[in-house]
Amino acid sequence: MPVGDSQNTPRPPAPAKAPKAKPPSERQSADTGPGKAKAKAKAKVRGRIVLPSLLSVTQRTTTEHSAPDQSSRRWSMDLDAASSDGAPATGHEARSKGLDERKIWDPRSEAPPAGTPWSVAATSFPRASPLERKLSACVRYAVLAPSSHNTQPWKFRVMADRIVLLADRTRALPVCDPHDRELTISCGCALQHLLLAMRRFGIRPRLSLRAVKGEPDVLATVLADASPGREESLPTAELRLFEAIPFRRTCRHPFADVELPGGFGEAVSAAGALAGHGRVSIAILGDRQSRERVGNLVAEADLVQFADRRFRRELALWMHHNRSSKPDGMPGYAMGMGELTSLVAPMVVRTFDMGRGRAAKDEELARHSPLLVVLSTRRDEPRDWLLTGMVLANVLLRATADGVSASYLNQPCELELMREKLARLLGGRAADGANGLWPQIVLRLGFGPRVAHTPRRTAEDVIER
Ligand SMILES: Cc1cc2nc3c(=O)[nH]c(=O)nc-3n(C[C@H](O)[C@H](O)[C@H](O)COP(=O)(O)O)c2cc1C
C-alpha cells in the first residue's frame, strides 16, 4: 500500500516527547501580583459595555467550543464563569487552575468530517485516469488551505498538462486587505497544498510565477511534467506535510502553558524554508520579552481596526452562525462561540467597537503562547506574498504533523505604522530600500484544545475549464 493511504484514518497522537508543564516560576503570570491587577482592570473596562463584553467573555472562557452541538449549555456555563468573581476568568487564569494538560488535543487524533471536502482520501485518487483528471483531483487538497476570513479567494484553470492558479478578487477584503496582500498569501497556501499533492501522486510540478500578459489575476502556472516519478518519491519530510493537510485547522483558543518539544522551532523553520525559494525569512520568537512586545503591537492594531466601522462591517460579513450551510466564511464555533452567541455575533461586531476587549485578549494570547513565528520578506510585491503563503502552508502543516496548534496575530502587518514598528522589533526597517523588512504573517503556536474544521467549497466549485 502506498505510504499515506491511511490519511483518512485517525492516527494516534504522536508518541514523541510528551509536552512538559512549565515550572510555576516560568509561567508568565497574570494571576499573581501586578499582572492580576492589570488583567482585572482590563476586564472591568470591558464589562462596561454589556453585549460586547458577553461576546468577549465567551471567546475567552470557552476552550471546548469546537462543534456546533450542546452550545446552549456552554453558553450558560460561560456566563457562570464570567460572574463567579465579578470579572471574567481570563484564559490564563483558567490555565492556572490546572486545566492545561486536559485541554491539549492532537489535531490528528480525529478523522476529518465525513462527507465534506476534508475527507479527501489518497485511496480514491484517480491513478489510472488521464493527467487532466489527476490534476483536478490534486485541487481537492488545494481547497483545504487556510485563507483570510476563510474567503477562499482562488480559482484553478485545469488543462491537459498544467494548472493555472488565479486570484478570485470578487472575494477580496478591501478594508482589511486593500492591496490583496493577504488574498495572495492565501492563494500561496493553496498553491503549496497543490504542489505537495501533485508530487505525492507522482506528478512532477514545474512552477512558473511569471506574469501572463492581459491576465492580471494569474498568480502561477504549474506545468505537469510528462515523465512522472514514482508515487513514493516524495521525501519523508514532505510526505508528512502532505498527510497533515486534512487535519490542519486554526485554533484561536489560548494555548496550554506547556513547552513545545525541543527543536520544534528549528523544524518549523526548516519546513517553511523548503517552500520559500530563499525569499521569506522566518523569525521564531520564544522569549517572553519579544512575545510581550509583539502582543502590545497587536493590541494597538486591534484598537485602530475595531474603531473603523468599515472594518467591522467587512468582518461581520464573513462571520456566520454555527448552523450556517455557507461553504465559506467563519462559523462562530471557529471563534469559540456557542450557538446563541454565533447568531448575534455578526450584528454585535457590526454595531459595537469591541477593540478594547479584543486588544486585551490578543495581548494575553501573544504573551502566553509558547512560540510566535513571524514571516517576512525583503520586498513587498505579489510574488513575495505568494511565496509567503507557500512558506506559511508548510509551517502550519509541520505544526499539525507534530500535534501543535496554530493561530494568527496578523493585525500589525495590516496597518502601515504598526508594520513598521514590527519590522524594527525584528531588527529591520520597513522601507523600500534594500534593507527593508516586510513582516507578512504573525503566527502563534502551542498546544491547544479541540476545534472543528471550517467549511470549504469543493474542487468542482473552484475549477474553471
Ligand atoms: C493570510 C491569512 C491571514 C489570516 N489572518 C487571520 C487573522 O488575522 N486572525 C485570525 O483569527 N485568523 C486568520 N487567518 C485564519 C483564517 O481565518 C482561517 O484560515 C480560515 O477561517 C479557515 O479556517 P481554517 O484555518 O481552520 O481552515 C488567516 C489566514 C490566512 C491564510
**pLDDT for the residue 358:** 97
**pLDDT for the residue 281:** 96
Tell me, rounded to whole angstroms, the distance of Cα 377 from its chain centroid.
19
Low-confidence ranges of the chain (pLDDT < 50): 1-18, 21-99
> What are the pLDDT digits (tens) for 86-99?
233 333 443 444 44
> What are the pLDDT digits (tens) for 273-301?
999 899 999 999 999 999 999 999 999 99
Residue 324's Cβ-count burial label (10 Å; 0-12, 13-18, 19+) is: middle
**Domains by residue range for the chain, with CATH:** 107-246 (3.40.109.30), 249-446 (3.40.109.10)
Contact predicate 47/87, CB 8 Å: yes
Cα 147 to middle of ligand 1, angstroms: 5
Cα 1 to middle of ligand 1, angstroms: 35
Residue with cell 519523508: 236
Contact predicate 308/350, CB 8 Å: no
**pLDDT for the residue 225:** 84
> d(Cα 4, Cα 275) in Å, to the nearest integer?
21
Cα–Cα distances in angstroms (integers) from residue 425 to residues 63, 392, 437, in the given order: 31, 21, 11
Q: Which three cell numbers stand for residue 360?
A: 486585551
> d(Cα 119, Cα 122) in Å, to the nearest integer?
10
Residue whose Cα lies nearest atom 1 of ligand 1: it is 182
CB atoms within 10 A of CB 310: 11
Cα 332 to middle of ligand 1, angstroms: 13
CB 250 less than 6 A from any atom of ligand 1 = yes
Tell me, rounded to whole angstroms, the distance of Cα 279 from its chain centroid.
21
Residue whose Cα lies nearest atom 21 of ligand 1: it is 150
Amino acid (one-letter) located at 204? R
CB 412 less than 6 A from any atom of ligand 1 = no
**pLDDT for the residue 44:** 39
Cα 331 to middle of ligand 1, angstroms: 12
CB 147 less than 6 A from any atom of ligand 1 = yes
**pLDDT for the residue 378:** 93
CB 452 less than 6 A from any atom of ligand 1 = no
CB atoms within 10 A of CB 40: 17
Cα–Cα distances in angstroms (integers) from residue 109 to residues 256, 402, 407, 451, in the given order: 18, 11, 19, 12
**pLDDT for the residue 23:** 42
**pLDDT for the residue 64:** 33
> d(Cα 313, Cα 291) in Å, to the nearest integer?
30
Q: Is 397 left (phi over 0), alpha (psi -120 to 50) or beta?
A: alpha
Cα 148 to middle of ligand 1, angstroms: 4
Q: What is the DSSP string of 177-226?
A: -TTSHHHHHHHHHHHHHHHHHHHHTT--EEEE----TT-TTEEEEEEEPS
How far does the chain reach from its first CA to its final CA, in angstroms? 33
Question: Given the CA of residue 396, which atom of ligand 1 is nearest to it?
Answer: 25
Cα 330 to middle of ligand 1, angstroms: 9
- Cα atoms in the 13 Å half-sphere on the side-chain side of 326: 15
3-state class (DSSP) for residue 337? coil
CB 185 less than 6 A from any atom of ligand 1 = yes
In this structure, the strands spanning 330-331 and 162-167 are: unpaired
DSSP label of 436: B
CA nearest 19: which of 446, 377, 322?
Answer: 446
**pLDDT for the residue 430:** 60
**pLDDT for the residue 226:** 63
Contact predicate 141/156, CB 8 Å: no
**pLDDT for the residue 436:** 84
CB 400 less than 6 A from any atom of ligand 1 = no
Longest CA–CA span in the chain (Å) reads 68
Cα–Cα distances in angstroms (integers) from residue 191 to residues 261, 369, 385, in the given order: 29, 28, 12
> d(Cα 8, Cα 11) in Å, to the nearest integer?
9
Amino acid (one-letter) located at 250? T
